[in-house]
Amino acid sequence: MFNINALFYKEEVDFKPVVKLKRYSSTESAVLSGRFIKKVILDEEGIGLNCTGNFVLSLIKTEDGSLVFKKDSENQKFTLKNQDYNFILNDEDKYIFILFACKEDIEIIVDDLEHCDSFELIKSSHTLHSYALPTINFSYYSYDLFYKGQLYFENEVISGNKTNHLYIAEKPVDFCTYFNAIETSKWKKITCIEGLYAHFDFKGYAVVRVKCIEPEGVFTIKVVKVKAKELEKVKIPIPLKYEVIGIEIHPLFPSEIFNLQWKAKLNNNSVKNKKLAIIITAFNEPNVLNNILDICENLNNYTDINYHFYIVDNSKTLDSNLSSDRISIIPNRNLGGTGGFVRGFCEALRNNFEICMFMDDDALTHPVSIEKAYSFLLLNNDKTCAVSGAMFDKDNMYDQTEAGAYFNEGCHPLHTHLDGRDPLTLIKNQHVEKEVNMYGSWWFFMFNVDEKLKLPMPFFVRGDDIDFSYKNNFRIELLSGCASWQENFVKKENVSTVFLFIRSHIIHHITIDKLYSNDKEALKSINKIIKGHVFLYLKQYKYDLALSVIESLKFVLKGEENWVNNCEMRKVLSLNKEKTEQLSTEKKYKVKNLSSEIYKDFYTRLKLWPITRIMKLFTMNSILIPRAFKSNKIWVLPKNHFVDPKYLFLKNRYIQQKNSNEWYLTSYSLYRTIRILFLLMVNIAKLNNRFHKIQKEYAKLDEKYQSVSGWNELF
């Protein structure tokens, strides 16, 4: 039975696990959804509440104040068994319990255990992962992703092992955060755990709140007092039916905590550790080795995983003599990120590694993220299961750029621009439409090694992760705290990145069967991709990017032999840059005191007129209208902002800030527009004419490079 005492715990007021209520007064519980209340009644075989006196408990719908049920206590207790559940609750509606003291002052004792200072760990316990604390690579301004409150921590050696030593003085420290909360229901459903515990070594006196994150909010479901004069082991049982759980520790006296971990009871005692290979493709990244050494040092503090880093050095600038028992540096032909990751995978396969992880050389990744993903795969019997990490913006470390993505005529990121400090982000990340088939992004991707895995084509970069995921039918999972920090993709967009991702998008619709039902649908999708991107860039006056899309199509149309002969791509990208830059109208602009905001005037209001919608449609957002009919006013767009074409209707130019003190002016050109449209029509006609021929060529090429032997020819 689920005890709802803790739902009345007022976290912002009460520091002791007792709620006092005077006679003839009332108090409210946390706001709950109908879905949650039904879940605890049915799953827990009812709900209960205990007080020190008589009371009345009511359930009220918050929207209109209507009464759902009302019941007097019996012998200072209230119970509602699931067989007595006969009232109607709507899943999305919000409800509150109201407790009324009838004849006397009463107290609600909300702690489940008077104190738990000497728990003995079960023999079959397994450490899922440690609690994460920021390392030296993390900015002070990102600490809210790890904990909230005042915390002092350091690494210490106890019994020959390094451990985290935490000092909590007076104020509560909340670990119900992006890195340290845990998706209890997902671990129960997908792995072999049957019990979960918050475990730590403790000295002092504190109240521990077990907090539940549900779509309707965050509330306390359990309160436990812990007290120990000397260092004691503490484990707090955690219910598994909730989506996300975290803990908050409030010291009643200054306290010390060592070795905070999530531990689990397993229903399979034969789980054995597996060897983990972490693959990084490096190219002229001077800090890659220092970053890895920092990860190694901290990873050793957290866990005893048998891991090894393979740094595949495509630029051949790293000293291979720096290899160690944990790190191997492999000089490699520059076949891009794809070639580097596949080379590392081949090494992992040859050395009998059982789990593999791909990680970017410029990524900032926390060692606990690696530990958590590893444990999830270790305790999972589904060999197709893989963990894909979220991406955060390096310049704004709280901004989750995306968590998960799927491919359908283009890349579609999920859960974009969510604030990692908001606990509800953890819930939103778990909700993915059933029909969405995610792929695992290679800035953080961990999977089980199998010699039967189909390797991707030599894409160089862009699209290899899509190819690899879909051909092998990975079951992609997202876990809180599994993430890496990258530079925003908007900043990286240039003629080379456009050339490469358009090229991969075309090939995906030729070689990945699940993306289309027949050849006609595949050709239709490719036409849509090419035209859509060309028109988008034309509307943004980015003629160099529009031409790069067409050049990418021309490259694919040259066929299989051209692809193999240009696997290194250096000459191709250089030539593409020379061609496309001739069409660029972007120039550096010297100006002072420009406000970084979008100006709106008569021209933006025009979109409300019906005639304007017709003009937009038949003139491609006015790009076919001569510049004499457009405004010469300079329009200013925010830094690193996507250039929305609707703001450029009937305008000749705009300014965009790219760096702190650099502004760039981009201008409209009717001549460049007509030239691009002509090239587009010519090459689309060639695509439609040659499609079946190139389809057969690339299918044959793809089959060759799905195996290790095919790739060995390139290495």
Q: Map tokens 């755990």 to a residue.
A: 193
**Could you tell me the pLDDT band of residue 287, with boundaries at 50, 70 and 90?**
confident
The contacts of residue 351 (CB under 8 Å, 6+ apart) are: 275, 277, 308
Report whether pLDDT(457) > 90.
yes
* Predicted confidence (pLDDT) at residue 425 exceeds the cutoff of 80: yes
Distances in Å between the Cα of 654 and the Cα atoms of 585, 598, 643 are 11, 10, 10
pTM: 0.87
Q: Determine the pLDDT at residue 120.
A: 43
Task: pLDDT band for 639, please (50, 70, 90 cuts).
Answer: low
Cα pseudo-dihedral 236, 241, 246, 248, rounded to 10: -60
Using an 8 Å Cβ cutoff, are 347 and 311 in contact?
A: no
Q: Quick check: 514 and 522 in contact, CB under 8 A?
A: no
State the average pLDDT over residues 493-513.
Answer: 92
Number of residues in the chain: 715
- Residues 180 and 38: their CA atoms lie apart, in Å, by 27
Segment 542-546 mean pLDDT: 96
Q: How large is the C-alpha radius of gyration of the chain?
A: 29
Closest CA to 296 of 322, 258, 263, 261: 322
Residue 129 in 3-state DSSP? strand
* Mean pLDDT lowest among 206-215, 514-523, 586-595: 586-595
> Angle CA(333)–CA(321)–CA(362) in degrees, nearest 5?
55
Selection from 559, 491, 539 nearest residue 644 by Cα: 539
Q: Which pairing describes strands 2-3 and 47-50: parallel, antiparallel, or unpaired?
A: parallel
Q: Which pLDDT score, from 0 to 100, does residue 478 have?
A: 94
Q: From CA 211, how far away is CA 419, in angstroms rounded?
A: 19
pLDDT score of 598: 46
Looking at residue 661, its amino acid is N
Distance CA 130, CA 668 (A): 55
Compute the half-sphere exposure of residue 579: CA atoms within 13 Å on the CB side of its CA: 18
DSSP string, 524-590: HHHHHHHHHHHHHHHHTT-HHHHHHHHHHHHHHHT-HHHHHHTSS-HHHHHHHHHHHHTT---EEE-
- Give the mean pLDDT of the chain: 86
Report the pLDDT value the prediction gives residue 640, as an integer from 0 to 100: 59
Nearest CA-CA partner of 408 in 509, 510, 532: 509
CA nearest neighbour of 357 among 327, 386, 336, 322: 386
